[in-house]
Amino acid sequence: MSQHAYSSQVPSRNSVIGQGFKKVTRDGRLEVADFKDGKPGDEVVHKTCFLCHDAAEAGDFISPITRLDIGKELLALIAIPVSSKPTPQGDSNSGPLIGGIMSTLSTASSTQHEPGLRGQTVVVIGGSAGIGLETARRARAEGANLILTARDPDRLQRVGLELGASVTAFDATDFQRLGTFFDELPRPIDHVLVTGPGPYYAPLADFDFEAARRDLEAHILLPLHIARNAASKVRPGGTLLFIGGTGGRRTAVGLALISALTAALPAMTRNLALEIAPVRVNLIAAGFVDTPLSAAILGDQLDARREHLRTTLPIRRVVGPADIAALAVHLMINTAVTGATFDIDGGQQIVDG
């Protein structure tokens, strides 16, 4: 709660209400004057606040981008910044006004965080675990509506209940089913995140070409299919976001396929960003991420891998799904970014040389 001081007097019910501002009535509802996200009778419903006061009464002002939780009584007053607050005409007071009264507010700055994805729809392909799940959680916290897909229907259903998301269980590499999924989306969407399985690698002597084919489908053909389907579904300025890796940038026996895929994804991302513009296309290239998939791949070597990374990475910790999710949501919100690849590996490539 801010410690900025201002007058505890309450403006009268006929105080000037400027365009886009709200005030509270005694029954805990809003009187609204041309507020783009509200209408007369809307309830005060959320819990973010700044410049709070202990006793709110009828006529108190609510910031145009802030809501607060109330029960039977109003618990906080939220003042809007002085610089943007309308003042009554002809008032002769020399000081800043809030609701037509003198205020002792010492600063007009706001520390409030407006949810960056409020009202937007985010689709996560592979959203029931790991990076996909954490990104869904982060997007939900930023106000997004969620549509999640994954192969495991039971796990997906649990996640859907947790996040209040729409869910559809299917294998995304069933490209006919994938096309049907996009065709049946009920409305335009804003962002699509595409996760995938772990990479396949093996020396040539043990190379399984069927496994390699599935890997190509998951890491090259799946993004292309999604790009073609999403081009007409994603709103202009929205995001198509792929998850790739950095492991194939080094040279070693058994990395022939993964190195080719690792090199291909950034080039594909740049070309798609041009071809399906104004939809934006970006790639997150992750190093080791501590996910259930990593645990399944490493088995009883997982703890040793974690400890090695904690002692060698410049950040002195292991990268987790929440780190990738934070970057993913940022790339959804930042509309200036497209055609780019973003490495996130805790400095692993620096250490590995």
Kindly state the tokens that stand for 331: 């790339």
On whether the CB atoms of residues 130 and 188 are closer than 8 A, the answer is no
**Poorest-pLDDT segment among 48-62, 225-239, 266-280, 301-315:** 48-62
**Residue 67 pLDDT greater than 90, yes or no:** no
State the residue range of the domain holding 92: 1-113
Nearest to 243 by CA among 225, 273, 218, 260: 218
Last residue of a domain, one of 91, 113, 135: 113
On whether the CB atoms of residues 8 and 51 are closer than 8 A, the answer is no
Dist. CA 22–CA 60, nearest whole Å: 9
- Residue 282, beta-bridge partner list: 241
Q: What pLDDT score was predicted for residue 152? A: 95
Last residue of a domain, one of 113, 133, 149: 113
Kindly state the tokens that stand for 75: 């618990």
Looking at the fold, whether 83 and 211 belong to one and the same domain comes out as no
Q: What pLDDT score was predicted for residue 319? A: 92
| Contacts (Cβ under 8 Å, ≥6 apart) of 44 | 24, 28, 29, 30, 62, 67, 68, 69, 70, 74
Looking at the fold, whether 130 and 257 belong to one and the same domain comes out as yes
**Poorest-pLDDT segment among 127-131, 198-202, 243-247:** 198-202
Q: What pLDDT score was predicted for residue 187? A: 81
Dist. CA 2–CA 105, nearest whole Å: 11
pTM of the predicted model as reported, rounded to 2 decimal places: 0.68
Query: 299-345 pLDDT, tens per residue?
Result: 888 899 899 999 999 999 999 999 999 999 999 999 999 999 999 99
Looking at the fold, whether 235 and 302 belong to one and the same domain comes out as yes
Looking at the fold, whether 36 and 174 belong to one and the same domain comes out as no
Looking at the fold, whether 167 and 246 belong to one and the same domain comes out as yes
How many domains, the chain?
2
> In degrees, to the nearest 5, what angle opens at C-alpha 143 toward C-alphas 139 and 145?
75
Q: What pLDDT score was predicted for residue 294? A: 84
What's the chain's Rg over C-alpha atoms?
A: 25
SS3 140: helix
Kindly state the tokens that stand for 117: 């994805």
Looking at the fold, whether 204 and 80 belong to one and the same domain comes out as no
Looking at the fold, whether 267 and 159 belong to one and the same domain comes out as yes
Looking at the fold, whether 170 and 253 belong to one and the same domain comes out as yes
Last residue of a domain, one of 87, 113, 139: 113
Query: 124-181 pLDDT, tens per residue?
Result: 999 999 999 999 999 999 999 999 999 999 999 999 999 999 999 999 999 999 999 9
- Residue 167, beta-bridge partner list: 148
Dist. CA 175–CA 177, nearest whole Å: 5
Residue labelled with tokens 């294998």: 171
On whether the CB atoms of residues 131 and 195 are closer than 8 A, the answer is yes
Q: What confidence tier does 13 reach under pLDDT thresholds 50, 70, 90?
A: very low
Looking at the fold, whether 72 and 205 belong to one and the same domain comes out as no
